[in-house]
Amino acid sequence: MTDNNLVDLDQIERFGKPPVAKPMAIFAASSLAGSNAPPRLFHVDGLIPARTVTLLGGDGATGKSLLALQLAVATPLRSTWLGMPVAGGRSLFLTAEDDKDEVHRRLEDIAFHAGAKIEDLHDLHIVSLAGEDALLAVTGRGNVLTPTPRFAELKAAIGDLEPALVVLDTLADLFGGDEISRVHARQFVGMLRGLAIQHDTTVLLLAHPSLSGMSSGAGTSGSTAWSNSVRSRLYLERVKDEGGIETDPDARVMRTMKANYSPIGGEYRMRWQAGVFVSTSPAPGAESGLAAYAAKDNADRVFLDMLATYDAERRSVSSSQSVTFAPAVFAKDARSQGIGKRALTDAMNRLFAAKRIEVIESGPPSKRRTRIVVAEHEEAE
């Protein structure tokens, strides 16, 4: 799908009706010859694909809002989420459930657990619409889903902030159409996917499952079009034994229910501790002992070597999910010694934490660009 095929959201906002379809952009497959396909990007590798919509479901009070807020914090900190590396960048967290004070309390716990302070979260932006009209779309003429002024506000905020991640909490508060309507479900997800593509961001939409969705364990709600329309769907639930008894009220498991670009069926176990969810599952591909230490040390060294090589070749790489995302670019280079994207992402995060690499800006004021470089004190050594 190209930008030429996107729904004209501006026209819907102004006139309250669907626009005339734009001409299809047709190209010959042979025109792709001579260039490599761009890497498939993830905000959380294998779980949350970039530049599209992921649905995170969970019953009330399971903690999906807290879990999503932890991801929104990890993104600007360039840290980890449930032990998994996260793409860096700004994040925008819109909640229609929690007021400012509740968000503040949760942020204190999350920041403390991450070894940070709230003043470090200048690239995390919060919108609380608790107690207000939060609908992003309602049913208009001809039973067509129509964006509201709130949607226009959200679109403008995304355009101004350029976040890498947008969290929307929750579907029940933001969607004013018919939840069991296949057409409305696809229209709403299409609106959000249009935002993701146009603004190069990742959307995480939170939702409550229906009673049948909970009893079956599928975590679905309303029309199956909700699950069919998103590229990835995750489901957070409480842990119960074979008899259906919850023996540990703090235990949770997040399951991969749908993943267009990675395997499904994954389970990520966690426990609520001191106001945050802490992973109790081994990190994907985790090793132990000296072998793990040696592998990490080698990945760090290769990342630094590749960064220096690319700098000498006047080729810039970045820490944000894009076609220049350093781990993805390096992983496709034969000089990376076969080290994969996940290991190189971990290496990048470790090197940032150790202040051995840094992000700098360059270019004219009207077109500033960021790139990763080896820290000056590292070069001096």
- pLDDT band at residue 95, thresholds of 50, 70 and 90? very high
- Residues 199, 50, single domain; the answer is yes
Q: Of 255, 279, 303, which one is at a domain's C-terminal end?
A: 279
pLDDT at 297: 86
Q: What is the pLDDT of residues 159-178, one digit of tens each?
A: 999 999 999 999 999 999 99
Q: Residue 3 pLDDT > 60, yes or no?
A: no
The dihedrals phi and psi of 149, each to the nearest 5 degrees, come to -55, -30
Strands (DSSP E) along 63-170, which ranges? 80-81, 84-85, 91-95, 124-128, 137-139, 145-147, 165-169
Q: What is the pLDDT of residues 18-75, one digit of tens each?
A: 556 678 889 999 999 998 898 899 999 989 999 999 999 999 889 999 999 999 999 9
- Tell me what percent of the residues of the chain surpass a pLDDT of 70: 86
Among candidate residues 173, 86, 73, the one with its CA nearest the CA of residue 125: 73
pLDDT at 262: 76
Question: Which residues, 6 or more positions from 251, have their beta carbon under 8 angstroms from its beta carbon?
Answer: 238, 239, 269, 270, 271, 280
Q: What is the pLDDT of residues 132-149, one digit of tens each?
A: 999 999 998 888 999 999
pLDDT at 21: 65
C-alpha neighbours within 13 Å on the C-beta side of residue 366: 0
Q: Residue 91 pLDDT > 60, yes or no?
A: yes
Residue 76 sits in a domain of what CATH number?
A: 3.40.50.300
pLDDT at 242: 65
What's the distance, CA 46 to chain centroid?
11
- Residues 162, 123, single domain; the answer is yes
Whether 322 is in a domain gets the answer yes
Question: Which residues, 6 or more positions from 371, have their beta carbon under 8 angstroms from its beta carbon?
Answer: 316, 317, 318, 324, 359, 360, 362
Residue type, 231: R
Whether 33 is in a domain gets the answer no
pLDDT at 43: 97
Question: Which residues, 6 or more positions from 328, have their beta carbon under 8 angstroms from its beta carbon?
Answer: 39, 41, 341
- pLDDT band at residue 287, thresholds of 50, 70 and 90? very low
Whether 333 is in a domain gets the answer yes
Q: Domain count for the chain, please give it.
A: 2
- Residues 300, 269, single domain; the answer is no
- Residues 274, 170, single domain; the answer is yes
Q: What is the pLDDT of residues 220-257, one digit of tens each?
A: 667 788 989 999 999 999 988 766 788 889 999 999 99
Q: Residue 9 pLDDT > 60, yes or no?
A: no
For the chain, the 3-state helix, strand and coil shares in percent, each to the nearest 5, are 40, 25, 40
- pLDDT band at residue 214, thresholds of 50, 70 and 90? low
Q: What is the pLDDT of residues 313-352, one digit of tens each?
A: 999 999 988 889 999 999 888 888 878 888 899 899 999 9
- Residues 367, 224, single domain; the answer is no
Q: Of 279, 304, 320, which one is at a domain's C-terminal end?
A: 279
- Host domain of residue 202: 39-279
- pLDDT band at residue 380, thresholds of 50, 70 and 90? very low
